[in-house]
């Protein structure tokens, strides 16, 4: 069986070129006589892998020198605790709750201090991004937290919140490297890489240096201190070495595609194909307010659960996999990350047209 078009929300599609390269290097990485999986993380060969990965990411995102790049473990979810443990000096933080991941981060922060939900879109199943131009930001807030692209609901912050001078912390897991970002607007950007960049198990944290201090909450485990990882250049303990190696290859691949401006253009083109069809279809409907639509995750429904199930089943048989929506939204969701080719989205829309014709009386 050949490769399918994989619309999974995560772990998700990776560039085929990267997978082939990794396969070629599996048994003998560049004459070392061993796989990257087998080599010491203190070796010269590995040092070059992790340093090159960091430099390529810095080039891609234009990361200023006063930000550290950390390759950590524990997935995005571990950051839900690590952020308050390291940043809550006043024990106050403001959360904008735009979906399940933001809500989990908000709930976790409540264990460490006063976490305030200053805005939410729970009233309409998180189908929109609230107006964040003039929120009641707490005077003593240590930071303002957002989930920038809501993987489950398919919404995206196209305008960052007005934090009134407070540090902005953003979970970018599902939009990481999908478009250029101005890093200087954030205190922390982080992302679990299994959505748009690499294999599960790595989380990339881009953190402004002044936020890295010894002054963490009492009882913060050593492994959850940004400072220990920053001081040791992500090699305090054994890092997720193979995962970082694949991320490094994806960074190189992104550079070859023309960097993040080119990715943005490519992603806009792909998303337009699908959204344009959703807007004209009589059967399929997008679930998100138009101006808040994500370029990465596109939920849609027919309004009929049985028809949705039939669609998912028949799409799978046609080589279009993992289109079932998240259980909290129902319907379908197509995740069309960087590595999803335009041909994949075209094949999906062609299939949707065919399905609509066959199932309309």
Ligand X SMILES: *Cc1c(COP(=O)(O)O)cnc(C)c1O
Q: How many Cβ atoms are within 10 Å of 184's Cβ, its own excluded?
A: 11
Binding to ligand X by residue 192, rule CB under 6 A?
Answer: yes
Choices 33-41, 46-54, 170-178, 181-189 (CB under 6 A): range interacting with ligand X: 170-178
| Complex with ligand X: residue 94 or 171, whichever CB lies closer | 171
Instruction: Give CA–CA dist 241/103, Å, rounded.
Output: 30
Contact call for residue 101 and ligand X (CB under 6 A): yes
Per-position b or e across 152-167, b if 16+ CB within 10 A of its CB: bbbbbbeebbebeebb
101 in catalytic set: yes
For 293, which DSSP code? B
Does 94 interact with ligand X (rule: CB under 6 A)? Answer: no
Residue selected from 36, 53, 70, 76 as contacting ligand X according to rule CB under 6 A: 76
> Which part of the chain contacts ligand X (CB under 6 A), choosing from 168-176, 312-320, 327-335, 345-353?
168-176
Shortest distance (Å) from residue 344 CB to ligand X: 20
The distance of closest approach from Cβ of residue 317 to ligand X in the complex, given in angstroms and rounded to an integer, is: 27
Q: Is 174 one of the binding residues for ligand X (CB under 6 A)?
A: yes
Find the catalytic residue in 156, 166, 195, 324: 195
Residues 91 and 220: beta-carbon distance below 8 Å: no
Q: Which is nearer to ligand X, 135 or 147 (CB)?
A: 147
Q: Which is nearer to ligand X, 193 or 254 (CB)?
A: 193
Which listed residue (115, 129, 141, 147) binds ligand X by CB under 6 A?
A: 147
Q: Which position among 6, 10, 72, 340 is part of the footprint of ligand X (CB under 6 A)?
A: 10
Selecting among 171, 227, 252, 324, the annotated active-site residue is 171
- Using the rule CB under 6 A, which residue among 151, 196, 216, 338 binds ligand X? 151
Which contiguous run of DSSP H or E holds residue 118? Answer: strand 114-120
264 sits in which H/E element: helix 259-280
For 324, which DSSP code?
Answer: B
User: What's the rounded Cα separation, in Å, for the pair 43 and 46?
Assistant: 5
With binding defined as CB under 6 A, does residue 171 bind ligand X?
A: yes
158 is an active site residue:
no
**C-beta of residue 62 within 8 angstroms of C-beta of residue 112:** no
Residues 6 or more apart whose CB falls under 8 angstroms from that of 174 comprise 9, 10, 149, 150, 151, 191, 195, 196, 294, 296, 297, 335, 337
Q: Indicate the residue whose CB is closest to ligand X.
A: 75
Q: In terms of CB distance, is 39 or 72 closer to ligand X? A: 72
Distance CA 167, CA 157 (A): 17
Within 13 Å of residue 43, how many CA atoms lie on the same side as its CB?
A: 14
Is 298:286 a contact under the CB 8 Å cutoff? yes
Active site residue 308: no
Question: By CB under 6 A, is residue 173 in contact with ligand X?
Answer: yes
Contact residues: ligand X, CB under 6 A: 10, 75-77, 101, 147, 151, 171, 173-174, 192, 195
Give catalytic residues, as residue numbers. Answer: 101, 171, 195
């Amino acid at each position: 069986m050949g490769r399918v078009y994989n619309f999974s929300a995560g772990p998700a599609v990776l560039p085929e070129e990267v997978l082939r390269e990794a396969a070629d290097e599996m048994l003998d990485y560049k004459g070392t006589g061993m796989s990257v999986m087998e080599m010491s993380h203190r070796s010269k060969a590995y040092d070059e892998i992790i340093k090159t990965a960091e430099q390529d990411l810095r080039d891609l995102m234009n990361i200023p020198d006063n930000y550290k790049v950390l390759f950590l473990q524990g997935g995005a979810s571990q950051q839900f605790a690590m952020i308050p443990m390291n940043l809550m000096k006043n024990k106050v933080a403001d959360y904008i709750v735009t979906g399940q991941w933001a809500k989990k981060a908000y709930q976790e922060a409540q264990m460490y201090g006063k976490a305030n939900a200053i805005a939410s879109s729970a009233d309409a199943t998180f189908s929109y991004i609230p107006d964040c131009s003039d929120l009641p930001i707490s005077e003593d807030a240590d930071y303002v937290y957002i989930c920038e692209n809501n993987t489950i609901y398919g919404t995206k912050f196209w305008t960052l919140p007005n934090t009134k001078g407070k540090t902005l912390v953003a979970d970018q897991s599902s939009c990481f490297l999908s478009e250029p970002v101005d890093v200087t607007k954030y205190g922390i950007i982080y992302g679990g890489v299994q959505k748009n960049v690499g294999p599960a198990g790595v989380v990339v944290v881009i953190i402004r240096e002044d936020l890295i201090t010894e002054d963490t909450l009492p009882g913060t485990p050593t492994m959850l201190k940004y400072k220990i990882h920053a001081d040791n250049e992500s090699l305090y303990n054994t890092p997720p070495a193979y995962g970082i190696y694949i991320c490094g290859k994806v960074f190189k691949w992104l550079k070859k595609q023309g960097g993040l401006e080119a990715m943005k253009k490519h992603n806009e083109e792909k998303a337009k194909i699908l959204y344009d069809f959703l807007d004209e279809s009589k059967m399929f409907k997008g679930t998100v307010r138009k101006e808040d639509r994500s370029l990465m995750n596109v939920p849609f429904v027919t309004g009929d659960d049985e028809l949705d199930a039939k669609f998912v089943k028949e799409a799978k048989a046609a080589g279009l996999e993992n289109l079932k929506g998240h259980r909290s939204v129902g319907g379908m969701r197509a995740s069309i990350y960087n590595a999803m080719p335009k041909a994949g989205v075209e094949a999906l829309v062609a299939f949707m047209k065919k399905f609509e014709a066959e199932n309309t009386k």
